[in-house]
Chains A and B, each alone.
Chain A
């Protein structure tokens, strides 16, 4: 990589000749494999997490983006921050194998049942121990998808933020972002330090190389508890949530209709179906 080129519209000439070190924290979530999402435990009202956790694919874009920005700056490090039960590191090792330098993992029994705001408090405290120039996150996780954690972290750390980035370029102390909107995109400028949430497709995530996978095994993962972060157990978990699940019910099922095999005339059946609905 010769420059911080993360989208087609940012020209090389815009990159200043001298670039300072760039330290990036990426928030990553380790989730059950979406191909086998598990189920809700009716007793604890949380996801049963007896399955192996993997790196949320949504987070691989942030990791890749961070690696490219650090590479472009010529100096700096990518640090991962994650919260997971039972000191799970499977997903972190994937991101370390991609090239992140180290990870901070917050794992604590008191965290069970923690909602989005509680999660943000924990992650913000962990991020606050470093002094990153940039914090990256996915717009939302693939399993919980509340989509509020990045902005909550920014507010807790008193950082400016830009969510839903589809392109990012760093110019000196300014981050230039194309932010997805309903009708197109906004160009947004934000001084560092700041937080940016990235949409899938902002960059193409690399596959970890064999060398990367081997190297990841010895990279440091700092395992901390909420006490280490100075967080009171009452502020997180079920008690800290301020909301309560009152019921888990099957949704009214949609009935499957007719299924036919195409024998060269399926298009006629579709036309007839549309005609019956009077939409033609």
Chain B
């Protein structure tokens, strides 16, 4: 019983294999006997790390020449499935490229996608995906009913990455068929926005600001406090939409999922959209002038007060420390 073969969509950055891929591999090893990775690009530099985390093989497309991952990887996978070499289940991270791959693949295979998965349970010869709704107050459990291979889109930080101690994964070529008009988008350049300090989704302390800051200049207080604590600055969707800070700062359903040791929410009321992204934090401190704000329902320490008064004093106290 159980799932016999899982393919995990592998992603990497300049620093090596992305954490989300390693998280998926850790869970996949629990669920299936055979765990393999599909990779859009040349996998020679990532095969060792993937193998160490339990991948037996890497099916790699080779250089995609600037084509989008979604079209290239999904077409290549569909070719393998058609030839009878596919898996029973696909695990794909909820990332920019991951969602493209899942969307394209679901059409090619006419197979369903279970999205926003935060946990997986083995059930019979399949799996049940757990997806939070209404800001995480309710869990919906979903299973596949079709005979097609199921596609899971799993949110980052759902599982802990853990090396399994295996040798390098065998790299196998995965042919990309002619993608016609669908394959004509090209990445012409890549820009990395430099930021000092830890990354938002890796920081042990996150300080996030929201509409309660009143105006965009006041976000500087959030940056300063984050720096004083050696943490990262984040934001609610409201102030990202308002253009105060870039999308990369956004914590929530649409933005990043963070699970730091300490999350400080300043001037954030706690809309369901935000809660999904930070409820997993070990400790939560909330500062908001509205005593009825939903954020106080999840805070370990709630301060009913004005962020413009509390934050400057807090920064001063920490900097003096």
Chains A and B belong together in one complex: yes
Give residues in A with beta carbon < 8 Å to B: 34, 37, 39-40, 115-117, 120, 139-140, 142, 145-152, 154-156, 158-164, 166, 179-191, 194, 199-201, 204, 241-251, 253-254, 256-262, 264, 266-271, 273-274, 277, 279-280
Q: Is the CB of A116 within 8 A of B115?
A: yes
Known: A146-B115, A180-B247, A184-B192. A200 touches B143 (CB 8 A): no
Which residues of chain A are within 8 angstroms of B318 by Cβ–Cβ distance? 271, 280
Give residues in B with beta carbon < 8 Å to A: 13, 18, 68, 70-71, 74, 94-96, 99-100, 102-104, 106-108, 110-116, 128, 132-134, 136-146, 148, 150, 153, 180-193, 204-205, 229, 237, 240-241, 243, 247-248, 253-254, 261-262, 264, 271-273, 279, 283, 285, 287, 291, 296-306, 309-310, 313-314, 316-318, 321
Bound-state CA distance A213–B1 (Å) is 59
* A120 nearest CB neighbor, chain B only: B107
* A47 nearest CB neighbor, chain B only: B133
| A–B Cβ pairs within 8 angstroms, 26 of them | A37-B272, A116-B113, A116-B115, A139-B254, A147-B94, A147-B153, A149-B103, A151-B70, A154-B104, A155-B103, A155-B108, A160-B184, A161-B70, A161-B71, A161-B185, A184-B248, A185-B190, A187-B188, A188-B185, A200-B237, A241-B112, A241-B145, A242-B146, A243-B143, A251-B132, A266-B303
Bound-state CA distance A262–B304 (Å) is 6
The minimal Cβ–Cβ distance linking A37 to chain B, given in whole angstroms, is: 7
Known: A260-B302, A280-B318. A152 touches B128 (CB 8 A): no
Which residues of chain B are within 8 angstroms of A151 by Cβ–Cβ distance? 70, 99-100, 102-104
Which residues of chain A are within 8 angstroms of B180 by Cβ–Cβ distance? 158
Bound-state CA distance A115–B116 (Å) is 14
The minimal Cβ–Cβ distance linking A244 to chain B, given in whole angstroms, is: 5
Task: Given A248-B140, A259-B303, output 16 extra A-B contacts at Cβ < 8 Å.
Answer: A120-B107, A145-B253, A155-B103, A166-B247, A180-B247, A180-B248, A187-B190, A189-B185, A200-B241, A246-B142, A247-B141, A248-B141, A259-B302, A262-B306, A273-B283, A279-B262
Q: Is the CB of B247 within 8 A of A201?
A: yes
Selected from A140, A185, A261, A269, the residue in CB contact (under 8 A) with B301 is A269
The minimal Cβ–Cβ distance linking A118 to chain B, given in whole angstroms, is: 9
Lowest 6 A-B CB distances belong to which pairs?
Answer: A262-B305, A151-B103, A242-B146, A242-B112, A259-B302, A257-B300
How many pairs of residues, A versus B, come closer than 8 Å at their CB atoms?
Answer: 273
Which residues of chain A are within 8 angstroms of B317 by Cβ–Cβ distance? 267-268, 271
Q: Is the CB of B116 within 8 A of A273?
A: no
Q: Is the CB of A160 within 8 A of B138?
A: no
The minimal Cβ–Cβ distance linking A38 to chain B, given in whole angstroms, is: 9
Bound-state CA distance A161–B99 (Å) is 12
Known: A40-B138, A242-B112. A274 touches B262 (CB 8 A): yes
* A117 nearest CB neighbor, chain B only: B106
Bound-state CA distance A139–B241 (Å) is 14
- The A interface is mostly helix, strand or loop, or mixed, namely mixed
* A280 nearest CB neighbor, chain B only: B321
Bound-state CA distance A148–B102 (Å) is 7
Q: Is the CB of B103 within 8 A of A160?
A: no
Bound-state CA distance A256–B275 (Å) is 14
The minimal Cβ–Cβ distance linking A138 to chain B, given in whole angstroms, is: 10
Bound-state CA distance A139–B254 (Å) is 9
Known: A37-B272, A243-B143, A256-B299. A156 touches B107 (CB 8 A): yes
Known: A160-B183, A243-B143. A270 touches B314 (CB 8 A): yes
Which residues of chain B are within 8 angstroms of A273 by Cβ–Cβ distance? 283, 285, 300-301
* B156 nearest CB neighbor, chain A only: A182
Which residues of chain A are within 8 angstroms of B187 by Cβ–Cβ distance? 179, 186-188
The minimal Cβ–Cβ distance linking A102 to chain B, given in whole angstroms, is: 27
Known: A147-B94, A184-B191. A258 touches B186 (CB 8 A): no
Which residues of chain B are within 8 angstroms of A187 by Cβ–Cβ distance? 187-191
Q: Is the CB of A279 within 8 A of B107?
A: no
Which of A116, A139, A260 has the largest number of chain B CB atoms within 10 A? A116
